[in-house]
Amino acid sequence: MTDHKHHEQLLTELSAQLKEIFESSDQAIYAYLDDTHKACNQKFADLLGYASPEEWAAVTDPFPQVFVAAESQDALIGAFQQAMEHKAASTFPVTWQKKDTGVVDTTVILVPISLGQHLFTLHFISKK
């Protein structure tokens, strides 16, 4: 099995396991493995101006440049690296870039999770 197919399968499994949380949480949420393998709930898609989680997930351009305002990119990348290297959760502010125009200020809780010996990050987002 290719890495891409394996990662697709992992994302499908993770999405199934998180279905109740994605659908029931008051927060916007997304799970991230890499720029191609990510999933979000409708609240996160709405927050950034996407019609659906599928439309948001279909964007495969570099995540920080597309979705994160320039002033927040270092914070998100640093928190992701801490999660991957040290298995450490964190909370920090992020300004997101909306699909068409505008930005939205939020607080992000980033948590490392594992599935099938692969590390994902799970992000819970609250609008400020």
Render pLDDT for 80-103 as a digit per residue (tens, 0 to 9).
Answer: 999 999 999 999 999 999 999 999
Element (H, E) at 93: strand 90-97
Share of the chain above pLDDT 70, in %: 98
Q: Is the pTM of this model over 0.85?
A: yes
Q: How far apart are CA 123 and CA 2, in angstroms?
A: 27
Return the pLDDT at 10: 86
Count of structural domains within the chain: 1
Q: What is the CATH number of the domain that holds 76?
A: 3.30.450.20
User: Which domain covers residue 93, as residue numbers?
Assistant: 3-127
Asked whether the CA dihedral 64, 96, 14, 54 is positive or negative, the reply is negative
